Amino acid sequence: MKQETIIIDENESMDNESSTLREMIKKDRVIAFPTETVYGLGGNAYSDEAVKRIFQVKQRPADNPLIVHIHCMEQLNEFTEHIHPDAYRLMKRYWPGPITFIVPIKQGMLSHYVTAGLNTVGVRMPNHDFALQFLRIVDTPIAAPSANMSGRPSPTKFSHIEYDLYGRADVLIRGDDSIVGVESTVVDTTVEPFEIVRPGHITAADIMRETGLEVIYESTTSTTPKSPGMKYRHYAPKQPVYPLKEDFKPEGHVGVIAPAELIKSWNNVVTFELCESVIDVNIAMRNLYKALRFMDAQQVDTVYIYQFPRQERYNALNNRIDKVISSKEEDL
């Protein structure tokens, strides 16, 4: 039996919807909501039942930590402690924004399903008007992974969450397309120097240039992930995906995802233009998950995708593309 799903439009007056949202969170229900990165599937971060429901709806293993979303710095005091002064400095510079900071938790506050047994948690304040309004209305830290079925491409459009979660989630909030298009940068502030454990829109070079603080990229992948998106197969369409090579010769009903300047007039090839030029990294990030879902809808047999130059500004994009390409393994 399908779950009854309520759809709320972010442009509707929240005077009418506030009581519904508060009641849903109070009852340990889960709500899919728009953010600037990707749509999130949120529940009360203090409630075991709510967090278990997130995993149930996504059909996701419950051994991967979740990010907690807040609307103001004061909420940090409820469930974290001993935050490094430089972490506060970065929060004040980049929040609200597409960046998550891993910090020590205050024991006994968050659901242990949020932290996956770790003594740390990732926290983010989204730079999205409705997301912040929603967080203020419920006034409770909200644990939220991306609002897609586990292993599917992350959702950046309302139609994505409607396809994946209608009849599964309790509430879907209809918003505009995500403007960043990939998940947040995750910075571990419990080590020195701070480490980026998941690349995103904000890079280590950005942080150095704008704050003077050195942040490095994690050199090895821990067997115990500190952040979502590090352990299991993610972001993938239903078809196998391979790198697009210079000598590409299409065989069968295939799809190609690449910048427009690299797409040719192939026969019987479905194409998706990520951006005009290879240099348009932000546009490519914004369109990546749309492209992968488009290929699903076209029912091609195989997808070929362009891999961007191995330069820092492409790290987030290549990270997601690398996780998609040619892998059938469940543990990435």
247 Cβ contact partners less than 8 Å away, ≥ 6 residues apart: none
* 47 in a known ligand binding site: no
Rounded to 5 degrees, what are φ and ψ at 69?
Answer: -105, 135
d(CA 196, CA 251) in angstroms, rounded, equals 39
* 150 in a known ligand binding site: no
* 62 in a known ligand binding site: no
Q: Which residue has the tokens 């278990």?
A: 52
d(CA 106, CA 109) in angstroms, rounded, equals 6
* 120 in a known ligand binding site: yes
d(CA 243, CA 324) in angstroms, rounded, equals 10
* 166 in a known ligand binding site: no
Closest to 63 in 3D by CA, of 114, 124, 105, 104: 114
* 37 in a known ligand binding site: yes
* 111 in a known ligand binding site: no
Contact (Cβ atoms closer than 8 angstroms) between residue 254 and residue 270? yes
* 227 in a known ligand binding site: no
Angle between helices 281-298 and 315-324 (to 10 degrees): 20
* 304 in a known ligand binding site: no
Contact (Cβ atoms closer than 8 angstroms) between residue 41 and residue 169? yes
Q: Which residue has the tokens 């995103």?
A: 200
Rounded to 5 degrees, what angle do the CA atoms 76, 82, 85 make? 85
Count of Cβ atoms closer than 10 Å to residue 319 Cβ: 18
* 13 in a known ligand binding site: no
Residue ranges for the binding site?
37, 60, 64, 69, 120, 124, 144, 146, 154, 184, 198, 235
Residue ranges for the binding site for L-threonine?
37, 69, 124, 184
Residue ranges for the binding site for ATP?
60, 64, 120, 144, 146, 154, 198, 235
